[in-house]
């Protein structure tokens, strides 16, 4: 198997009202002020990405709008493939709930760096462990589909943590210790002998 190189980007900051709630797979808009103020960040990211690459995005508009911002900042405009397997964690009945209302709704203690423990499945949703079980096979399939190529994947913080967890074969709770900021870059490679993590949460100024 020839080396496949993944350039994973977390979507841009969402608007203020959405940040006040658990939005999960809700299709919330991006913050318009941030899109303007962070134009230099998009330009730096556009300059860092490989020019010959396949592009994939999640079905949610915030990933597609982030890709558009990268194109507007100087990256040659590309067609993309919408990949449902790269969706964010589905928080089910907890989606739309204000963060302050969450503690009384949990069956397990919250994770120190995420509202839910790695194995807690919200009603009608999925646990982060299940996200890893979904994202891992998706990454393997994409690695086969685009074998030997560069792949730019604009997705979500949870998705990227799950991809790293799959690469390193670590538990859901361990993976939730990873920081993945908005518009950060995480690089993974799939080789014949397995996955390799090049960098996680590289940010551009």
pLDDT at 1 over 90: no
pLDDT at 104 over 90: no
Helix locations, 54-171, DSSP H: 61-72, 128-145, 157-168
Q: What is the pLDDT of residue 117?
A: 97
Average pLDDT, the chain: 97
pLDDT digits (tens, 9 = 90+) for 25-74: 999 999 999 999 999 999 999 999 999 999 999 999 999 999 999 999 99
> What number of other Cβ atoms are within 10 A of residue 79's Cβ?
6
Tell me which residue of 156, 183, 184 sits closest to 91, measured CA to CA. 156
pLDDT at 12 over 90: yes
Return d(Cα 50, Cα 68) in angstroms, integer: 16
- Sign of dihedral through CA atoms 203, 162, 174, 23? positive
Using CA atoms in the order 177, 183, 186, 187, what is the torsion angle rounded to 10 degrees?
180
Domain that holds residue 136: 4-202
3-class state of residue 22 by DSSP: coil
Residue 108: beta bridge partners? none
Q: What percent of the chain has pLDDT over 90?
A: 96
Q: What percent of the chain has pLDDT over 70?
A: 100
Token code pair at residue 32: 């318009």
Cα–chain-centroid distance for residue 24? 11
Tell me which residue of 120, 121, 166 sits closest to 142, measured CA to CA. 166
Tell me which residue of 111, 40, 92 sits closest to 69, measured CA to CA. 40
pLDDT at 24 over 90: yes
The residue written with tokens 């190529």 in the block is 149
pLDDT at 103 over 90: no
Buried b (16+ CB within 10 A) or exposed e, 2-31: eebbbbbbbbbbbeeebeebbbbbbebebb
Tell me which residue of 199, 154, 135, 138 sits closest to 54, measured CA to CA. 154
Number of domains forming the structure of the chain: 1
Q: What is the CATH number of the domain that holds 12?
A: 3.40.50.1240
pLDDT digits (tens, 9 = 90+) for 139-180: 999 999 999 999 999 999 999 999 999 999 999 999 999 999
């Amino acid at each position: 198997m020839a080396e496949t190189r993944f350039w994973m980007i977390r979507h841009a900051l969402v608007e203020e009202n959405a940040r006040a709630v658990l939005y999960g797979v809700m299709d919330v808009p991006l913050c318009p002020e941030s899109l303007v103020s962070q134009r230099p960040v998009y330009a730096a990211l556009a300059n860092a990405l490989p020019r010959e690459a396949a592009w994939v995005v999640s079905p949610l508009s915030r990933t597609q709008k982030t890709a558009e911002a990268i194109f507007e900042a100087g990256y040659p405009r590309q067609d993309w493939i919408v990949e449902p397997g790269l969706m964010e964690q589905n928080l089910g009945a907890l989606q739309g709930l204000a963060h302050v209302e969450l503690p009384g709704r949990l069956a397990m203690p919250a994770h120190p760096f995420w509202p839910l423990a790695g194995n807690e499945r919200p009603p009608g949703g999925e646990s982060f462990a299940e996200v890893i079980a979904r994202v891992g096979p998706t990454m393997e399939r994409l690695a086969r589909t685009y074998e030997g190529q560069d792949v730019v994947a604009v997705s979500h913080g949870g998705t990227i943590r799950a991809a790293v967890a799959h690469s390193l074969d670590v538990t859901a709770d361990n993976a939730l210790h990873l920081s993945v900021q908005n518009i950060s870059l995480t690089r993974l490679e799939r080789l014949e002998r397995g996955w390799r993590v090049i960098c996680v949460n590289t940010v551009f100024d």
